[in-house]
Amino acid sequence: VVILTAIGIAAIGWIIALYARRIHAAGALYDYVTHGFGERVGFWAGWVYYWGTMALTAAIPLIFGGIVYGLLHDDIGWKSTPPYWVWGLINCGIIFVLLYFGVRISTRAQLTLSLVSATVVLGFMIYIIAKGGAGGDSNSIKPFLPSSSADGWSGIFYGILYGVLIFVGFETAANLGEETADPKRSIPRAILLSIAVVGAFYLITAYAQDIGFGLDAGKWGASIATGPLFVLGSKDAFGSVFFDRILQVIVILDITAVGVGAAVSTSRGVFAMARDRRLPGALAKVSERYGTPSGSILFTVGLCAAIVLWTRLGHGVLTREIPGVPPNVAVFPEYFPMFSWLAGYGSFALAAVYATVALAGIRSLWDAENRAALVIAGVIGCVIALGGLWGAIYKVVHPANKIPWGVLITLILGILLSVAVRGRRMASQVLPELSEAGAGGGS
């Protein structure tokens, strides 16, 4: 799954990198699709994409709060620790501070947190591989064979949907085009390098987890509620009580980094669409002191906080039952079903837009780039993205089976909004510093 997803994302990433050399606007994918298929389709894509990144951003405070609470209350024994939703709101505050006071602070914080967490996790995964996995003899070629999938290709395509999720964020560098000194060079390099690094990292970690559970998909799946990394890091597997706590701290740092990246993408995208008056103009307000999009940042963080409170007041909102486990035996933590649904929604929405970007690139870059390479990249990117979408529809159980309908409703609302609100010409088409000649396509 990781290999197939990496190939598809690399193809899409190459097309996005080509666009990033020509268009440096904060809207990124919204601008790219507009230049390929025109303003109306571009708005639809931007609408779906940024609601997708909004869902991913809103999912972060929930899982952050849950893990922090679990570490302090269950593992360390601090029984009076604030509940998960309080920690979730604290995470919202952290994200606001990092976003509001400038892109350098947010990107440096994100890179530092990611580097620390990735180094520890990668070292642990290599240790599991060196130990031979469960029983010391689990190293095998089986994890790389499609025939190893219990549900065949339908299971693989479902995995691709969540495989897309591990690459989500590779394109967010493009949202910083207006805040980067040399976007024509820096943005494409950051996009392609991030895909390569993330692909290699998750290939190693996925393989290590598979053999860590003895190539037993059932055991691996049963660890989801607790967290596969924490199960493998426990004293009963490859770690210890102390190391398991270290892993939880590392995951908390990593979650914070992911939240910052998702929030950067969302806030800049909302800002770009508001600047073009396709969203309320108040969301395009910029801080005079820091030059950051304060209106869209407040909207993004405020909605995240609202979802945390909604989840608490709604007692989880969604069903907490674990498939195949009687409710009187165990249920998911209150925050987990909403986190999982938001993550699935975001992944589905982004996969749909990735496919659209791939097609837009073929159309608008046809006369500027190697046509054969464009077709190959576009087809590969579309096939992988559409495969992920199919995996989210075929034989999926409640409440995840409502995710495609949620994205469809979002698209319909976007279509209705585009009819009601005309907007104005995009900034990337009006301001010469945001694009170069030859970037345009359909209109």
pLDDT digits (tens, 9 = 90+) for 357-386: 999 999 989 988 889 999 999 999 998 888
pLDDT at 437: 45
Task: Please tell me whether the peptide bond between 399 and the residue prior to it is cis, using omega within 30 degrees of 0.
Answer: yes
pLDDT at 375: 94
Location of structure tokens 């269950």: 74
Q: Rounded to whole angstroms, how far apart are CA atoms 261 and 199?
A: 17
Lowest mean pLDDT among 101-115, 331-345, 428-442: 428-442
* Position 442 confidence tier, pLDDT thresholds 50, 70, 90: very low
* Position 438 confidence tier, pLDDT thresholds 50, 70, 90: very low
Q: At residue 395, does pLDDT exceed 80?
A: no
Q: How large is the average pLDDT for residues 183-195?
A: 80
56 class by beta-carbon count within 10 Å (0-12 exposed, 13-18 middle, 19+ buried): buried
Cβ–Cβ < 8 Å for 265, 271: no
pLDDT at 106: 66
pLDDT at 173: 62
Q: Rounded to whole angstroms, how far apart are CA atoms 275 and 269?
A: 10
pLDDT digits (tens, 9 = 90+) for 143-166: 888 777 766 676 777 677 667 777
**Beta pairing partners, 23:** 435
**Which two three-digit tokens encode residue 53?**
């990144």
Cβ–Cβ < 8 Å for 295, 271: yes
Cβ–Cβ < 8 Å for 11, 374: no
Q: Rounded to whole angstroms, how far apart are CA atoms 420 and 422?
A: 7
**Which two three-digit tokens encode residue 54?**
């909004």
Q: How large is the average pLDDT for residues 396-412?
A: 91
**Beta pairing partners, 37:** 442
Ramachandran category for residue 317: left, alpha or beta (phi over 0 → left; psi -120 to 50 → alpha): left
First to last CA, the chain: 37
Top mean-pLDDT range of 9-18, 78-87, 251-260: 78-87
pLDDT digits (tens, 9 = 90+) for 82-124: 999 999 999 999 999 988 886 667 667 777 888 888 899 999 9
Q: Rounded to whole angstroms, how far apart are CA atoms 136 and 128?
A: 9
Q: How many CA atoms lie within 13 A of 355 on its CB side?
A: 17
With a CB cutoff of 8 Å and minimum separation 6, the contacts of 97 are none
pLDDT digits (tens, 9 = 90+) for 218-252: 888 778 767 899 999 999 999 998 998 999 899 89
pLDDT digits (tens, 9 = 90+) for 262-319: 898 899 889 988 988 888 999 999 998 888 899 999 999 999 999 999 999 999 999 9
Q: At residue 440, does pLDDT exceed 50?
A: no
- Give me the chain's average pLDDT, please: 85
Q: Is 79 helix (H, G, I), strand (E, B) or coil?
A: coil
Query: Which helix (H) or strand (E) element contains residue 345?
Result: helix 336-364
Q: Rounded to whole angstroms, how far apart are CA atoms 130 and 340?
A: 32
Q: How many Cβ atoms sit within 10 Å of the Cβ of residue 97?
A: 13
Cβ–Cβ < 8 Å for 429, 440: yes
Lowest mean pLDDT among 54-63, 113-122, 130-139: 113-122
**Angle subtended at Cα 52 by Cα 320 and Cα 274, rounded to the nearest 5 degrees:** 135
* Position 396 confidence tier, pLDDT thresholds 50, 70, 90: confident
Cβ–Cβ < 8 Å for 424, 193: no
Q: Is 151 helix (H, G, I), strand (E, B) or coil?
A: coil
Top mean-pLDDT range of 155-169, 395-409, 426-440: 395-409
DSSP 8-class letter at 327 = T
pLDDT at 443: 40
- Give the domains, in start order, of the chain with CATH numbers: 2-434 (1.20.1740.10)
pLDDT at 304: 98
CA distances to 56, 199, 238 from 143, rounded to whole Å, are: 28, 16, 20
pLDDT at 181: 61
* Displacement of CA 245 from its chain's centroid (Å): 25
pLDDT at 91: 96
Note if the pTM is more than 0.95.
no
With a CB cutoff of 8 Å and minimum separation 6, the contacts of 419 are none
Cβ–Cβ < 8 Å for 383, 153: no
pLDDT at 398: 84
49 class by beta-carbon count within 10 Å (0-12 exposed, 13-18 middle, 19+ buried): buried
Name the residue among 57, 84, 56 with its Cα closest to residue 68.
84
